[in-house]
Structure 1
Amino acid sequence: MGLFDFIKGQLIEVIEWLDDRGIMVYRFPAHDNAIKMGAKLIVRESQAALFVNEGQLTDVFGPGTHTLSTQNLPVLTTLNSWKYGFNSPFKSDVYFVSTANFTDLKWGTMNPVIIRDPEFGMIRVRGFGTYAVKVGDPALFLKEIFGTKQELTTAAITGYLKSMIVSSLSDLIGEAKVSVADLASSYDELGKLAIDKLQPRFAALGLTLSGVTIENISLPDEVEKMIDKRSSMNIAGNLDQYMKFQTAEAIRDAANQPDGGIAGTGAGLGAGMAMGQMMAQMLNQTAARAAEAGQPQPAQQQPPAPPAGGSQPSTGKKFCSECGSKLAENVKFCSECGSKI
């Protein structure tokens, strides 16, 4: 093999990129190999190929198969002064840019965001979700983001993009003045507003924000517990009826456990006492309502009067103070001398 054949074998004749693996920009590994004039450039759908000569972006190719010549490399031809279509090898850096949608990119708040809620006041919230992005302007993206790297993956820029999304959503939630309790019904609307607000900032980087999804906006644990208690009270409704039901349930459970030991007996006694107190309160409430309505109150029963001259409870004396005879129990007069005790 002669020298000419060796040199010809080093020339690049086919330029293409197949592997993506989440790569946004890939630099074709030409190294010092020259590109043959007339070589085939294969650009697949959702790709763009960019030629850079001596640090200057020259030509951009869309999907399709292109034969490289002075006709379809106008900028590169001008820079190399190929005025007459001279068929010679040339050196140029070739970059493939993926223009497909990169989906399922995660965003989330690293620290709680403080907002002023119209119902709960100042509270801290956290949120997370996903977003999708794609390269809208390959040339601008190459200039603003890529630089001179060998390749660029989504992981290299998602930190910056995530911070922009979190900042925008925090601002939108604060401006919306929607209670956190009602935010779940506004996730879609907030996502669309975030896209409209962030699109100019993404476009300045050569990117297009395809979608923003809010999966959840959560409150601190202590606030969620208070909301749960408040919900339980609302569900209970009439607290008086609720307490009656709870007491009846406790008494039933205690009755169903006769061998529960001291603990079960104590629980049953406690439930019984609670039931008694509740019944007393109910009677008092019934009497109060009757008094307000002007109904006559039931007369309170008085202890029966003792019969005249009959027995009276003992005064504590065991012997008659007149004659000294022993007194019978519950006797008011001495049975011997008749004296009044």
Structure 2
Amino acid sequence: MGLFKNQLANVVEWEEYRDDVIFYKWNNSEIKKGSRLIIRPGQDAIFLYNGVTEGVFEKEGNYDIESDIMPFLSTLKGFKFGFNSGIRAEVIFINTKEFTMKWGTKQAVNLPTPALPGGMPIRANGTFQFKVGSYQMLIDKVAGIKKQYTTEEVRERVLSVLNQLLLRWIVREGKDMFNIQANAVEISEGIMGELNTELEKIGLAATGFQIDSVSYPEEVQEMVTKVAGQSMVGDMGRYQQMAMIDAMTNTSNNGGGNNMAADMASMQMGMMMGQQMVNQMQNAMQGQNNQNIAQGQVQNTASNVQPQSQPQPQAEQPAGGVPNFCPNCGQKTEGSKFCPNCGQKLVP
């Protein structure tokens, strides 16, 4: 009798557990008298009878179904196992962990821009997280027709709507298409909200969404990199000098005269430096010439100004009344009353 009883017993468990499986449906055969339920860490077990949820068991452990499970089932709590009778019930095991998946745009997302009639094509990638949110919705929408459900199936569902969500949150919020990375947190939060609404339809819940990188067409990326480099350098003359020195240093380190290409590069750099020095000398000379011309113009202007007539110095008048010098011609009078040179009367 004991041997026959052991043949009727079975174990209800998720034997082939996989991290990428969201749920597993056990429906191998009917549950016999003496059967046991095994719930492992990170699992919940849901009993269904005739498609109706009878009970949800969340605590891990090894349970006797007749004594530990049956008393808690909704409509089967009074069920009595017979010698050959069992319960044709289903048990769905739920993976309760949070799943992390990578995503990437299948096709380029064309962002509208007046400069490009077809839009600016961009690509993006990142990660998102989700977990089971509603057991009953998951059973009604997915578990009723599937024996198991994988994370790859969820990823395909997310990718089918992701391009639209990216376009909506970048364009609608008026974000600069060249600064998406700077606004990635705000854009990600908006996308996660709408993505959660989409996943709730099948009993899942989005718990996170991240944008790791955004890529542009190669030509646009090169242009952005060049503009960024120029803005960082500031003094383009100094940048050119540094580039010449680096090129010549690299040429010297790579063998110099033994490499024809290196020699020609060095010659070209030398000619460029020589031409730059000539240009600088010419500019300096031109500046000096301009300065000399300006000084000459100032001198000519000064020479054209007529000097004002200076008042003649008054002849010194000695005590005797005769001046020492003629006030008319400046000749020394030597005490005479009349100028010996012009005859001017010296005494009034």
C-alpha distance in structure 2 between counterparts of 1:37 and 1:96, whole Å: 21
Residue identity matched to 1:185: A
Cα-to-partner distance string for 1:259-314 (whole Å, 9 max, x where unaligned): 988835565345423432453345446656x59x954479xxxxxxxxxxxxxxxx
Return closer, same or farther for 1:283/1:119 CA change in 2, 3 Å cut-off.
farther
Partner of 1:63: 58
Partner of 1:111: 107
C-alpha distance in structure 1 between counterparts of 2:250 and 2:8, whole Å: 90
- Total equivalences in the alignment: 284
Cα-to-partner distance string for 1:28-47 (whole Å, 9 max, x where unaligned): 2x533x31356432334432
State TM-score, norm by structure 1.
Answer: 0.68
Measured after TM superposition, the shift of residue 154 of structure 1 is 1.3
User: Are residues 1:219 and 2:216 paired?
Assistant: yes
CA contact (8 A) 1:250 1:268 kept: no
Measured after TM superposition, the shift of residue 223 of structure 1 is 0.6
Partner of 1:309: none
Return closer, same or farther for 1:222/1:15 CA change in 2, 3 Å cut-off.
same
TM alignment of 1:18-57, pairs within 5 A: 19-28=17-26, 30-32=27-29, 34-37=30-33, 39-54=35-50, 56-57=51-52
Structure of greater Rg: 2
Equivalent of residue 274 in structure 2, options 272, 275, 284: 272
Residue identity matched to 1:26: Y
Measured after TM superposition, the shift of residue 107 of structure 1 is 0.7
**Which has the higher mean CA deviation after the structures are superposed, 220-229 or 38-47?**
38-47
TM alignment of 1:147-158, pairs within 5 A: 147-158=144-155
Return closer, same or farther for 1:116/1:280 CA change in 2, 3 Å cut-off.
farther
Residue identity matched to 1:276: V
Supply the RMSD in Å over aligned alpha carbons: 3.9
State TM-score, norm by structure 2.
Answer: 0.67
Gaps of 5+ in 2: 299-348
TM alignment of 1:54-203, pairs within 5 A: 54=50, 56-64=51-59, 65=61, 66-69=63-66, 70-76=70-76, 85-88=79-82, 89-103=86-100, 105-116=101-112, 122-203=119-200
CA contact (8 A) 1:48 1:60 kept: no
CA contact (8 A) 1:53 1:92 kept: yes
Identity of aligned residues (%): 23
Measured after TM superposition, the shift of residue 132 of structure 1 is 1.2
C-alpha distance in structure 2 between counterparts of 1:224 and 1:280, whole Å: 39
C-alpha distance in structure 2 between counterparts of 1:259 and 1:94, whole Å: 78
Gaps of 5+ in 1: 299-341
